[in-house]
Copies of this chain bind each other. A is one copy, B any other.
Amino acid sequence: MDRFLSSAVNRIDAKGRVSVPAHFRAVVQKRGYSELYALRCLDRPAMDVGGLDLLDRYEQRIAQEDPFLRTADDMSFFCHGDGTFLKLDQDGRITMSDFIREHTGISAEVAFVGRGNFFQIWEPGRLSTYGAEARARLLQLRQGTKPGERPE
Contact = CB atoms under 8 A, between A and B. Distances in A.
Interface of A: 1, 3-8, 23, 35, 37, 42-43, 52, 55, 57, 59, 61, 64, 67-68, 70-71, 73-78, 80-85, 99, 113-116, 120, 131, 134-135, 137-139, 141-142, 147-149, 151
A42 B135 contact: yes
A115 to B, nearest CB: 5
B135 A78 contact: yes
Q: From A4, A35, A42, A57, name the one whose CB has the most chain B CB atoms within 10 angstroms.
A: A42
A26 B39 CA distance: 21
Given A74-B138, A137-B70, A138-B42, A81 B114 contact: yes
Contacts of A35: 1
Given A7-B99, A43-B151, A81-B131, A76 B116 contact: yes
A121 to B, nearest CB: 12
Contacts of A1: 35, 52, 85
Given A5-B85, A43-B139, A74-B134, A116 B80 contact: yes
A116 to B, nearest CB: 5
A132 B114 CA distance: 27
A58 to B, nearest CB: 10
Nearest to A52: B1
